[in-house]
Chains A and B, each alone.
Chain A
Amino acid sequence: MINIQPYESPEYFVLILGLLLPIIIGLFYGKRLVNYETLFSLVFLVLTFGGDKWQQGVALIGYVLFELLVIFSYSKYRSKQNQTSVFVVAVLLAIAPLVVVKLTPLFSTNSSIIGFLGISYLTFKTVQMVMEMRDGAIKEFEPVLFVRFLLFFPTISSGPIDRFRRFKKDYQTAPDREKYLCMIDKAVKYLFLGFLYKFILGYFFGKILLPIVSHAALAHKMAFFHTGLSWPLVEYMYTYSMYLFFDFAGYSLFAIAISYLMGIESPMNFNQPFKSHNVKDFWNRWHMSLSFWFRDYVFMRFTFFLMKHKLIKNKLRISQVAYLANFLIMGFWHGVTWYYVLYGAFHAVAIIINDYWLRFKKTHNVPHNRWTEGLAIFTTFNVVCFSFLIFSGFLNTLWFK
């Protein structure tokens, strides 16, 4: 049995575009071929989670059934009552499988048997359902639509993270021809931009340059009083940052392009992040679907919680605590290692300092021209690249291995 990983090889693109053709023609004539789409999605799910990855496939089925049960039960409950404790239990249950998968590496050298490619992204989608049911924004439980939303395969492995209500709106209608032609136009552009990003630039930085600079940096392990701080390490930092961006942005463009061809406007994930003027701006441009998810479902809710219960009076303190919680949770989500957690903490601190600075700027007469803007972009870029050096885990290899 064969196994094909999404967006990795030319064969995958030929296969997916070939099999998409009926859907594209259908949408061009204003029809959504639901049955064909189901079959098509199944084929790709089997290709991704079948073959020698069949255990992941079993884990995925188990996961979906479990989350269906959680959401079904919560929606039943929510139609009658609305207790906070039950809501908390529902959220905890929804994230339980992910927590187990993320914690397993701490106790075992094997990865968890209930894990599969994309479990985090599916969890974001389920938690979102529970939260919006709590808000009353989602009223009824639609299992078929929910499963379609959850398993929408172009984005299954690494996002972008869509919102259920947005997805539902796209999904229940077919775009008119004018609009669909626009979407195809964008899809083609994104596909080719993605090829440039992932297979040319990402490949260059990640597969050609990175091994060289990593080798050089490891050779300077003893540099600067045994800290390993060396020029090659600086080169590593920038190279890794470029690789991370082009690889992930390329992947995201593929996922979005394929969604568009299927008549679904999955949200954008990147908006020229290295042009950011400050760290806050950066998080509005980098892995946007994730940062907006965290903004809406962690940061905002945590802020409201603090205000409602009057746990902290000072408004500034509230947002600072919320940032800390927000980014620490994001850090833990990446994985329970010191460098992911530090990455989260680093960004929390950076954004808090940034907040102070913005306040200072409001009350003081700080000059503003293209040079200060340039300086802002330069500073932000370097702060971000440094955070990626932490994120890369390379320091762990450099210092502790």
Chain B
Amino acid sequence: MSVKKKLWNIFGPIITAGLLVFIAFFAANQFVSVNKATEKRAAVSLSSNVYKGSVIKSAALKDGYVPFFGSSELSRMDPFHPASMAQKYHRNYRPFLLGNPGTQSLSHLMQMQGMKSQIKNKKVVFIISPQWFTKQGQVPQAYNFYNSPIGTIKWIKSATNSSMTRYTAKRILAMNVSGNSGAIHQSLENLADGKKVTAMQKMQLNMSESGLTAEDKLFSAFVSGKNEAKISRDQAKLPKQYDFNKLTNTANHLAAQQSNDNPFGISNSFFKKRLAKGHKLEKLEGSQTEINYLQSPEYADFELILAQFAKWHVDPIFVITPVNQKWVQYTGLSDEMYQKSDQKIKYQLSSQGFNHVVDLSADGGKKYFMEDTIHLGWNGWLAMNQKVAPFLEQKQAQPKYQIQSRFISNQWQQAE
């Protein structure tokens, strides 16, 4: 065999493979566009790829989808879930669900950079759980799991030196994404120090951004349709015409069936899967007396979201969620503390001009309000929907925000 032939035998397959990958990415970049069916599936899929990506979100927002930011509650899908209600009653919006257990302000801040031009001047729904506001705040592992490289790159590229920028960069670095090397890490370090992103770093960032975008497009068609099917099954159980009393009846009826085997009014399946096993329940009794949501880095992270909304002229409605009252009594979580943290969040909102707040924090004792220990369901979803739907359907006055940097200070994070 000649040397040339041998070399080809060795490197031929690599070169061919490399070419094929290049062609696939190039083709994806040129020819793949997100269709309506994909948007519909993605909107309720809660897939982490959709969350981290940019292509589907941006396309959907152009087509009238409204971002619903949140965390674990979004996955509590019953007939009264916002996605189901919007579909049944032909609202002029459709929720695009963004959030999973573990996603909090910081991960939302990065992922929404991926729909920057589409979210500007738009209305959004933002569900806040006081459970985010722990002593640690955003858990790094969860952050890393939902970390959006595209969003982070876009954020870095548009960042200008300010106390907010420096603080954000420091927070992301503290999550220790991608080890301590790479252009993202180095440019974040520059931004944290108040320095500029170098031309070299910018070039590297642009390169990886175009790679990531091609990847995002290439995989955009592979979104699970499981939740979409569930929503369309669920909405069939709703009354034909929107009638709040009828809806409440249906909710009470369904909830009574589905939460009859435990003393907390928790959905039977959740209770069986998560609490009834072994000595789990016994151990949780009185276990939450020490929990405190008043002091948390999350308050500052949340401020970063507010500042971003203000900068982009986004008009958000905030929903603050309650805890199942029977569960509160069982675990010993302090009601007073919960209400204080609710007040603190609301103060931060109102003093900067964010006036649309649906405060459900004290409603955890209402009948069939909570699907499980800390998540809305049945009447809870209905209550939220009653405030959110009109907000989204009717024209709202242009909001005026006064962002105050004191809300990222350590003093505010630790304030009682």
- Interface residues, chain A, with chain B CB atoms under 8 Å away: 2-5, 8-9, 11, 52, 177, 181, 184-185, 188, 192, 211, 222-223
Contacts and interface: CB of A to CB of B under 8 A. Distances in A.
A2 B181 contact: yes
11 contacts: A2-B181, A5-B181, A8-B179, A9-B181, A9-B182, A177-B3, A181-B10, A185-B6, A188-B10, A222-B278, A222-B279
A184 B278 CA distance: 58
A192 B279 CA distance: 48
**Secondary structure dominating the interface of B:** helix
Given A188-B10, A188-B11, A188-B14, A181 B182 contact: no
Contacts of A223: 278
B258 to A, nearest CB: 26
Contacts of A8: 179, 181
A177 B3 CA distance: 9
Contacts of A11: 181-182
Interface of B: 3, 6-7, 9-11, 14, 141, 179-182, 186, 278-279
**5 interchain residue pairs of minimum CB distance:** A185-B10, A181-B6, A4-B181, A188-B10, A184-B10
Nearest to A52: B180
A208 B254 CA distance: 37
Contacts of B180: 3, 52
B381 to A, nearest CB: 29
A222 B141 CA distance: 25
Contacts of A192: 14
Contacts of B3: 177, 181
A5 B181 CA distance: 9
Nearest to B178: A9
A320 to B, nearest CB: 44
Among B9, B180, B181, find the residue whose CB has the most chain A CB atoms closer than 10 A: B181
Contacts of A211: 141
B170 to A, nearest CB: 16
A310 to B, nearest CB: 56
Contacts of A4: 181
A188 B8 CA distance: 12
Contacts of B179: 5, 8-9
Contacts of B278: 222-223
B181 A3 contact: yes
Given A2-B186, A188-B14, A222-B279, A181 B7 contact: yes
A117 to B, nearest CB: 14
A123 B222 CA distance: 51
Contacts of B141: 211
A155 to B, nearest CB: 21
A58 B7 CA distance: 42
A52 B10 CA distance: 39
Nearest to A8: B179
Contacts of A5: 179, 181
Nearest to B11: A188
Nearest to B183: A11
A9 B10 CA distance: 23
B140 to A, nearest CB: 13
B15 to A, nearest CB: 11
Given A3-B181, A177-B3, A211-B141, 11 more contacts: A3-B180, A4-B181, A11-B181, A11-B182, A52-B180, A181-B3, A181-B6, A181-B7, A185-B6, A188-B14, A223-B278
